[in-house]
């Protein structure tokens, strides 16, 4: 039934919970897994520490490296379960992360999207990206809450940039 499972990952514990469930479903249905990380470019309206020598391109490159690390670790976890996984890293450009997820699900002809549910947000019980994917998806979306039990969590590195104006 679920033979092609798309798993968007952001490195959080909740996305790793989604990966854990996707692995279980793939094992049960002899399915294949595609791991997806979407890098949303930083806003050009924000200061990225240019006064310290950081550029928007350097921040984007750092986000891409972090995304590759997330995908590599997740792929390793999938392989430990005797499964194979495709890995995709996309820069969303002007599209939202949800648009990229839905486009990739459509192009790959995924039969299921499995996502981790983040903590409650202003929009309700799930985050913006999850909410948009659920609202627009033509295929089933499984939202998974909680901390993974059988899967080792990918270390999520926060990128802390000081956006406060510098004192002159």
Q: Convert the pLDDT of each residue in 88-99 to its tens digit.
A: 999 988 889 999
> Which residues touch 78 (CB under 8 Å, ≥6 apart)?
19, 23, 33, 35, 84, 85
% of the chain residues with pLDDT over 90 = 56
Q: What is the mean pLDDT of residues 150-158?
A: 45
- 156 band by pLDDT with thresholds 50, 70 and 90: very low
The arithmetic mean of pLDDT across residues 126-132, rounded, is 86
- Ordered by where they begin, the domains of the chain are 4-144 (3.40.50.620)
| pLDDT above 90 for 86 | yes
Residues 145 and 143: their CA atoms lie apart, in Å, by 7
Mean pLDDT value across the chain: 82
Global confidence as pTM: 0.80
pLDDT at 74: 96
- Residue 67 pLDDT level (bands cut at 50, 70, 90): very high
Per-residue pLDDT at 54: 62
Predicted confidence at residue 57, as pLDDT, reads 79
């Amino acid at each position: 039934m679920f033979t092609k499972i798309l798993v968007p990952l952001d490195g959080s514990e909740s996305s790793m919970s989604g990966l854990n469930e996707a692995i279980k479903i793939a094992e049960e249905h002899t399915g294949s897994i595609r791991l997806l990380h979407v890098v949303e470019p930083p806003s050009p309206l924000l200061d990225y520490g240019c006064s310290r020598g950081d550029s928007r391109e350097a921040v984007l490159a750092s986000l891409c490296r972090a995304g590759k690390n997330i995908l590599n670790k997740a792929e390793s976890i999938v392989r430990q379960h005797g499964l194979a996984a495709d890995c995709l890293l996309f820069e969303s450009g002007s599209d939202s992360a949800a648009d990229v997820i839905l486009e990739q699900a459509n192009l790959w002809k995924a039969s299921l999207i499995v996502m981790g549910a983040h903590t409650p947000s202003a929009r309700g019980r799930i985050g913006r990206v999850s909410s948009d994917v659920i609202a627009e998806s033509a295929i089933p979306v499984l939202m998974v809450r909680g901390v993974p039990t059988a899967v080792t969590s990918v270390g999520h590195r926060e990128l802390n940039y000081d956006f406060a104006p510098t004192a002159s």
